[in-house]
Chains A and B, each alone.
Chain A
Amino acid sequence: MKVLGSRELLADVLSKELCIGCGACVSLCPYFKSYNGRTAMLFPCTQERGRCFAYCPKVEVDLDEVSQKIFGAPYSMEPLGRSLSAMMSRAGKKAAGNNYQSGGTVTALMTWALLEKLCDAAILTGREGLNAVPAIVTNPDDVQNYASSKYTSAPTLEAFNRAADLGYSRIGVVATPCQVLALAQMRSNPMAKKDFSDPTSLVVGLFCTWSLDYRAFSRLVEGRVDIKDIKKFDIPPPPAEVMEIHTARGVIEIPLAEVRATVPNSCDYCFDMTSEFSDISVGVVEGRSAMNTLIIRTERGRAAVDAAVKAGYLEIEDMPSDNLARLRTAAGNKKKRALKKAAGEGIINTNGDSRSLIRMEPKNLAGI
């Protein structure tokens, strides 16, 4: 990938409303800031090559190049991405807490990682009202405060950048697919720094079909719910077609169609449902609300899961093949939809001076 500067980032991403607000460009310099779910550029910067561009998951990402760096192999069109194994999991007996979205796998794993010093800091995302707010967490007991799904897009990597700047060198990150892609680029040393070392020790990716624009979602929810009362969000399996907002006064349902209208455009181009560039990816299991799907992608991911199981923080089971097949179909459909849209708009593999959104082997696009 050719690393360019903030001018190009502005032209290719921000002004095209492709920014998802992941925070990858924030806290590196004084020019990019996250506020209320949006990333803003305060002033023009004159650097011709910048980390903001290098890390952004919505600039021209060369998928083969990133995949080579993370997996030592080119990008795979396999709907769930490259993986070593897939299973079901949940928090083990040693893990405390009960405010999980489903199986509590992520909370248990990150608690264990901090306890066992696999990670010197964990980058997690909490919630203030409807806003998703990232944090640098170093105390294992605090991890559970960040459990449960946020739904609004979050500038999680802003906290990651701060942690790296503070000198943490074994950072654990819990991230959505776009954030995991940005992390994969950061970990690839795109600025070709001489004394570079990967500051992450564990990247836990989440399954994600879309996120919500904080500002649009706020406008939708304000007046229906007292924001301070919100305990948890949930989207029950079909055919419910609602979002549940759990509050102290009961559950409020909002039709899913209205919620979907607040999904940012950017998500329409996302081809990754399961965080394909993570060490481990975690999501729900259809029909098994107390369990998680767990996909192990890298050796260091496998080592972490094995150790956490051994230590009693995680329990695992085999994944029924039906479930895996349905997951694969869903992920494949998302990939096809996104690539088709991008291809239709001519922003895959453009030539000459114009820059695309995605760069990948043309043969991968044959069936799209």
Chain B
Amino acid sequence: MSYLFDTNEGARYLMMGNDAIVRGALEANVNVASAYPGTPSSEIIENLSKASQKRNIYVEWSVNEKVALEVSFAASIAGLRSICAMKQNGVNVASDFLLHVALSGTRGGAVLLHCDDPGALSSINEGESRHFARMIELPLLEPGDFQEAKEMTKWAFELSEELRSIVIMRSVTRLSHASGNVILGKLGAPEGKAQFKYEAVPGDADSGPVITMPVPPHHALLQEKLKKAVAIFEKSPFNTYTGPAKPELLIITCSACNLYSREAVHLLNAQDRVGILKIGTTWPLPPKLIARHLAMTEKVLFVEEVLPFLEENVKVIAAETAAEVGIKQFYGKNDGAMPTINEMNPDIVVDVIKKILGIEYIAMDEGYANRAKGHLIARAPVRDLTFCPGCPHRASFWNLHNALAMDNRRGFVCGDIGCYTLGFLPCGFSTMKTSHSMGSGIGIASGFGKLTQFGMDQPILAVCGDSTFFHAAIPALVNAIHNKSDVIFVLLDNSGTAMTGFQPHPGTPLDARGGALPTIDPAEVCRSLGATVEYADPFDTEETQKKLLALMREKGARVLIMKQMCALSPEKKGKKRFEVKVDQQICRGDTCGCSRLCTRIFRCPGLVWDNKRQAAVIDEVICAGCGVCAEICPSGAIKKTEAGR
């Protein structure tokens, strides 16, 4: 992590996009950073917290994105520089506050950094947060490579201070989680004293109370700021053009699509025919710059992810300047040339340029492609997602599934996003039947629990993780309890924000830097709300199922905390609690009385089927030693012994 502290201007590092953003923030002398974890944004705060060990930066894992934005806003109006990071849907969570911040304005440089996830590589939505910039009327920046990610972050603070507005910067998975070479700039020492000035009249940008009323004048002021931004963007070095003076085709692109466009033009050897206008300041668009480039050509192709944001905004400018730039042939998402779902890649761009310009290009010889496809189908079995070996969620869903099946009233589980979302797949015994935004499992369950008057008689369960509990589940749980909804809320407590890499949360005793913090016990919270609270260890399958069955006989809001630490947690990773072996003589295998329960149904990656001996066998490389398979084996063939004895 030496790039965090390297004062050697001009030094060259291979950095992840998120690291480049971190370095940019450090070069901007950021004072405060806050976030709620979410792939692909989490490394930003993680690495800033490492930097905070040597620099005076306050770094916080906040309870959710809205609060994170509020925390970093406080720093801004106290005169400090702050950055708030989140994944795409985090912006939705923060958006209510963001709407008000746009009106109230900021003081110290304030940057909202969001990482979108085109293709939903690590998400359960493909939400695009760029539209918030237009909707809420805030400036939006999109870096086009790794170096720019650093430079643009640094500049975003300056822009924010110039405009007195929060600046939104958007990254995507293929930048945040990709790596490239970055040359370092000057690293100064953080400065700034925090003081909130409120003595002047309301509306005074420097020292008045910070409020959004009266609204129309504030709104007018906001729009003035955007006009100012346009003027700055007209001259921004982040908007670049590469290509001939009169290209046959003009590509207008931004973000990672800039790299795909460059690659595609290179592959097609079309550098003389295609120009690339890479926009770094994607809202509000600089109309003169756009018009100038539109005038260069007849054909325009938009390459962007995911929805036609640039495309539609450029088309407005094209319409307004049609007399001057002429009528264009546009290619993009609206005419179907480009997909409006999923992430882009160089091949998609190659295909569309090929068609527009009539260039011959064969990416893969047809004979080779067919042979490769044949081998793929026959010899590369699909890898479905599954819980890790030793994952407590596998055991938890086993218990939930079995208890619901035994109860036999068509009960079901509502869930949300976390590793446990996989509970809807066979690895979770298809137990989860709804999955939406954070905390929505218990919210939906609260609604289901009030449908008894319409004849609903199914037991209703909701699950959520320990971090999600604090993020968004508490209001829904309050709702369920207050409205006497008949639900069982199961907290899958694996002691950390596991999916994004073990960030702390209010239930854990550490801050972002590893310092001590008081913990808030979810059980105490639930009890104080009036719920009965039970505990279970999901690895004790019999006891957990008994508790679930007993809870299902009760009425009202009930809470069960299934507590077992994540198998990848620093405390557990690489340490086997049990040595597990299968006695293949005892294993009943594929016969009546077992029918391969462990491999066919339980499906832990650490326990595989030995085709030769027609019995189960432990894969020692993969087995995490949790011992749960020994509990579920109907014939006692799986033996566990405490490791190290």
Q: Do A and B come from one complex?
A: yes
Interface residues of A, Cβ cutoff 8 Å to B: 28-31, 33, 35-36, 38, 40-43, 45-47, 49-51, 191
B178 contacts partner chain A, Cβ-Cβ < 8 Å: no
> Are A38 and B408 in touch, CB under 8 angstroms?
yes
Q: Which residue of B lies closest to A54 (CB)?
A: B592
Q: Complex: how many Å from CA A212 to CA B408?
A: 17
> Are B592 and A49 in touch, CB under 8 angstroms?
yes
B232 contacts partner chain A, Cβ-Cβ < 8 Å: no
Q: Which of A33, A40, A47 contacts B592 (CB 8 A)?
A: A47
Residues of B within 8 A of A45 (CB): 595
| Nearest CB in chain A: distance from B153 CB, A | 51
Q: Which of B407, B429, B590, B632 contacts A30 (CB 8 A)?
A: B632
> Are A40 and B408 in touch, CB under 8 angstroms?
yes
Q: Given A29-B634, A42-B401, A43-B429, are A35 and B408 also a contact pair (CB < 8 Å)? A: yes
Q: Complex: how many Å from CA A31 to CA B402?
A: 10
Q: Complex: how many Å from CA A131 to CA B467?
A: 41
Residues of B within 8 A of A29 (CB): 592-595, 634
B549 contacts partner chain A, Cβ-Cβ < 8 Å: yes
> Are A46 and B592 in touch, CB under 8 angstroms?
no
| 18 additional A-B residue pairs with CB within 8 Å, beyond A40-B406, A43-B405 | A28-B592, A29-B592, A29-B634, A30-B597, A30-B632, A31-B595, A33-B402, A33-B405, A35-B406, A35-B549, A40-B407, A46-B590, A47-B591, A47-B595, A50-B592, A51-B592, A51-B593, A191-B592
Residue from B549, B591, B592 with most neighbouring chain A CB atoms (10 Å): B592
Residues of A within 8 A of B429 (CB): 43
Q: Complex: how many Å from CA A40 to CA B600?
A: 19
Q: Which residues of B103-130 have CB atoms within 8 Å of chain A's CB atoms?
A: none
B357 contacts partner chain A, Cβ-Cβ < 8 Å: no
Q: Complex: how many Å from CA A29 to CA B596?
A: 11
Residues of A within 8 A of B595 (CB): 29, 31, 45-47
Residues of A within 8 A of B591 (CB): 47
Q: Can you pick out 15 interface pairs between chain A and chain B where the beta carbons lie within 8 Å of each other?
A: A29-B634, A30-B594, A30-B632, A31-B597, A33-B405, A35-B406, A36-B408, A41-B405, A43-B405, A43-B597, A43-B601, A49-B592, A50-B592, A51-B592, A191-B592
- Minimum-distance CB pairs A-B, first 6: A35-B406, A30-B634, A45-B595, A40-B408, A42-B405, A29-B593
| Nearest CB in chain B: distance from A159 CB, A | 17
Residues of A within 8 A of B405 (CB): 33, 40-43
Residues of A within 8 A of B590 (CB): 46-47
Q: Complex: how many Å from CA A40 to CA B405?
A: 6
Q: Complex: how many Å from CA A30 to CA B629?
A: 13
| Nearest CB in chain A: distance from B253 CB, A | 50
| Nearest CB in chain A: distance from B541 CB, A | 11
| Nearest CB in chain B: distance from A335 CB, A | 31
Q: Which residue of A lies closest to B634 (CB)?
A: A30
Q: Complex: how many Å from CA A36 to CA B407?
A: 8
Q: Which of A42, A46, A50, A51 contacts B406 (CB 8 A)?
A: A42
Instruction: Please encode chain B, from 627 to 645, with 1 for each CB lying within 8 Å of some chain A CB and 0 for all others.
Output: 0000010100000000000
Residue from B591, B595, B596, B597 with most neighbouring chain A CB atoms (10 Å): B595
Q: Complex: how many Å from CA A14 to CA B592?
A: 19
| Nearest CB in chain B: distance from A320 CB, A | 46
Residues of B within 8 A of A191 (CB): 592
Instruction: Please encode chain B, from 581 to 597, with 1 for each CB lying within 8 Å of some chain A CB and 0 for all others.
Output: 00000000011111111
> Are A42 and B402 in touch, CB under 8 angstroms?
yes
Q: Complex: how many Å from CA A43 to CA B596?
A: 11
> Are A28 and B593 in touch, CB under 8 angstroms?
yes
Interface residues of B, Cβ cutoff 8 Å to A: 401-402, 405-408, 429, 549, 590-597, 600-601, 632, 634
Q: Which residue of B lies closest to A41 (CB)?
A: B405
For chain A, what secondary structure do more than half of its interface residues adopt (helix, strand, loop), or is it mixed?
loop
Q: Which residue of B lies closest to A31 (CB)?
A: B595
Q: Complex: how many Å from CA A35 to CA B549?
A: 9
| Nearest CB in chain B: distance from A223 CB, A | 14
Residues of B within 8 A of A35 (CB): 406-408, 549
Q: Complex: how many Å from CA A41 to CA B407?
A: 11
Q: Complex: how many Å from CA A191 to CA B402?
A: 28
| Nearest CB in chain B: distance from A167 CB, A | 14
| Nearest CB in chain A: distance from B551 CB, A | 14
Q: Which residue of A lies closest to B406 (CB)?
A: A35
Q: Complex: how many Å from CA A191 to CA B593?
A: 13
| Nearest CB in chain B: distance from A162 CB, A | 12
Residues of B within 8 A of A40 (CB): 405-408
Residues of B within 8 A of A51 (CB): 592-593
Q: Which residue of A lies closest to B601 (CB)?
A: A43
Q: Complex: how many Å from CA A112 to CA B593?
A: 34
Q: Complex: how many Å from CA A30 to CA B593?
A: 7
| Nearest CB in chain B: distance from A220 CB, A | 16
| Nearest CB in chain B: distance from A210 CB, A | 21
Q: Complex: how many Å from CA A41 to CA B406?
A: 8
Residues of A within 8 A of B601 (CB): 43
Q: Which residue of B lies closest to A46 (CB)?
A: B595
Q: Complex: how many Å from CA A50 to CA B597?
A: 15
| Nearest CB in chain B: distance from A289 CB, A | 36
Q: Which residue of A lies closest to B429 (CB)?
A: A43
Residues of B within 8 A of A31 (CB): 595, 597
Residues of B within 8 A of A47 (CB): 590-592, 595
Q: Complex: how many Å from CA A191 to CA B405?
A: 28
Q: Which residue of B lies closest to A49 (CB)?
A: B592
Q: Complex: how many Å from CA A35 to CA B411?
A: 14
| Nearest CB in chain B: distance from A243 CB, A | 24
> Are B408 and A46 in touch, CB under 8 angstroms?
no
Q: Complex: how many Å from CA A1 to CA B14?
A: 72
| Nearest CB in chain B: distance from A334 CB, A | 28
Q: Complex: how many Å from CA A29 to CA B591?
A: 10
| Nearest CB in chain B: distance from A22 CB, A | 16
Q: Complex: how many Å from CA A51 to CA B594?
A: 12
Residues of A within 8 A of B596 (CB): 46
Q: Complex: how many Å from CA A36 to CA B459?
A: 15
Residues of B within 8 A of A33 (CB): 402, 405-406
Q: Complex: how many Å from CA A41 to CA B590?
A: 18
| Nearest CB in chain A: distance from B604 CB, A | 15
Q: Which residue of B lies closest to A45 (CB)?
A: B595
Q: Which residue of A lies closest to B595 (CB)?
A: A45
Residues of B within 8 A of A30 (CB): 594, 597, 632, 634
Residue from B591, B597, B632 with most neighbouring chain A CB atoms (10 Å): B597
Residues of A within 8 A of B549 (CB): 35
> Are B402 and A46 in touch, CB under 8 angstroms?
no
Residues of B within 8 A of A43 (CB): 405, 429, 597, 601
| Nearest CB in chain A: distance from B66 CB, A | 42
Q: Which residue of B lies closest to A42 (CB)?
A: B405
| Nearest CB in chain A: distance from B191 CB, A | 63
Residues of A within 8 A of B594 (CB): 29-30
Residues of B within 8 A of A50 (CB): 592
Residue from B401, B406, B429 with most neighbouring chain A CB atoms (10 Å): B406
| Nearest CB in chain B: distance from A108 CB, A | 36
Residues of A within 8 A of B600 (CB): 46
Q: Complex: how many Å from CA A31 to CA B406?
A: 10
Residues of A within 8 A of B634 (CB): 29-30
Q: Which residue of B lies closest to A6 (CB)?
A: B595
Residues of A within 8 A of B632 (CB): 30
Q: Complex: how many Å from CA A29 to CA B588?
A: 10
| Nearest CB in chain A: distance from B199 CB, A | 68
Residues of A within 8 A of B593 (CB): 28-29, 51
| Nearest CB in chain B: distance from A265 CB, A | 16
| Nearest CB in chain A: distance from B599 CB, A | 12
| Nearest CB in chain A: distance from B28 CB, A | 56
Q: Complex: how many Å from CA A283 to CA B320?
A: 97
| Nearest CB in chain A: distance from B543 CB, A | 15
Residues of B within 8 A of A38 (CB): 408
| Nearest CB in chain A: distance from B124 CB, A | 26
Residues of B within 8 A of A36 (CB): 407-408
Residues of A within 8 A of B406 (CB): 33, 35, 40, 42
| Nearest CB in chain A: distance from B30 CB, A | 53
| Nearest CB in chain A: distance from B553 CB, A | 8
